[in-house]
Amino acid sequence: MNDVQPGQSPWTSRHRPVSEDLDLQRATWRVERIAWLALLVLTAAAVAGVFGGGGPLSATRVGGAEAGLSVAYDRFARAGAGTRIRIAAAPSASQERTLVLSGAAIRSLTVDAVHPRPLEQRSTSGGAAWTFRADAGAPLVIQVEARPVRAGVLRSSFAVDGRPPVHVLQIVYP
């Protein structure tokens, strides 16, 4: 049984046998398509690593030859959850190397472990300095295991042996 009257479009509301409101139905379909698109975007972002836990967008590296330092870290982290920062300093003739961390890094991170252990740790006017022993002419690789203290954007910097600092930007989710 077809309740479409002659000359009436099948896309107009009918009142028999059941009342229809096709304008409301179209709006509902539009909202449903937007929700599916939002779910697709969130899933793609999660697979890409935007929410942490791996993925091509999660890990990054900054630094270079001018700074004599490169820092590899997770671009996205969670407050209170562990994260690793890998710092690689270029070879030097000196056996003692000093890594300077900015005050923002010290205030925003709880450092759980540093490998290898520093020979000396001291406060500086702008943060903290760690002194390490390294073989002359060999690169120094330091791994810092830390936990961000609070959610937000963490801007910090690292420098080695008085060279220009390497700036790190990390997004910390709650």
Give pLDDT, residue 121. 92
For residue 79, give the nearest of 167, 154, 144 by alpha carbon. 154
CB atoms within 10 A of CB 174: 8
Give pLDDT, residue 7. 65
pLDDT in tens, the chain (174 residues): 455 566 667 666 666 677 778 888 889 999 999 999 999 999 998 888 888 777 788 888 898 877 789 999 999 998 999 999 999 998 888 888 999 999 888 888 999 999 999 999 998 888 899 999 988 888 899 999 999 999 999 999 999 988 889 999 999 999
Give pLDDT, residue 16. 67
**pTM for the whole thing?**
0.74
Rounded CA separation 122/101 (Å): 11
> Could you tell me the two tokens for 37?
């698109």
Angle at CA 46, nearest 5°, toward 34 and 174?
100
Would strands 59-64 and 69-74 be described as parallel, antiparallel, or unpaired? antiparallel
Phi, psi (5° rounding) for residue 94? -80, 145
Protein fold of 59-173: Immunoglobulin-like (2.60.40)
Rounded CA separation 85/87 (Å): 6
Spell out the domain ranges in the chain.
Answer: 14-48, 59-173
